[in-house]
Amino acid sequence: MNIGEAAKASGVTAKMIRYYESTGLLRPAVRRSNGYRDYGAVDVHELRFIRRARGLGFDMAEIAELLSLWRDRDRASRDVHRVASGHIDVLQTRIAELKGMVDTLSTLVACCHGDGRPDCPILSDLGGGIDTGQPLERAKRR
């Protein structure tokens, strides 16, 4: 199948398929006599694998390692477990950071009157404590 058909079958855009090939994540497709890429069922399966791994938040290096392990039928499951466990740690750190952002923003929103007054604790916090209600350049000249 051509790249458009492979994209449709895998749920990965043609642009991303080309990118995965250029980075070496996906093996280069066989070329037809007319120069078009020709993809088979294995390629589509690998593209689906990549799409699913990206959906779980794995970075490109992790996906490359997992794909290599997936292709290797003599792999040890402990190697896959190590990659997935490490990724869980990354996700938990990210969750904690996001929770901190939500908590901070929730506090700021609760402190903001949300009315017609110009003073705003949200903008003050984002501005590092400066909330003049004016562009920063004008505030500096005063």
- 33's CB contacts (< 8 A; 6+ apart) are none
Q: pTM to 2 decimals?
A: 0.77
pLDDT bin (cut points 50, 70, 90) of residue 133 is low
Residue extents of the structural domains in the chain: 1-58, 112-142
Interior angle at CA 123, CA 122 and CA 128, nearest 5: 100
pLDDT tens sequence across 61-94: 999 999 999 999 999 999 999 999 999 999 999 9
- Maximum CA pair distance of the chain? 72
**31 has which bridge partners?**
37
pLDDT tens sequence across 2-48: 999 999 999 999 999 999 999 999 999 989 888 889 999 999 999 99
CA distance 60 to 97: 22
Residue 134: what pLDDT?
57
130: pLDDT strictly greater than 90: no
CATH number, span 1-58? 1.10.1660.10
Nearest in space to 42 (alpha carbons), one of 82, 6, 96: 6
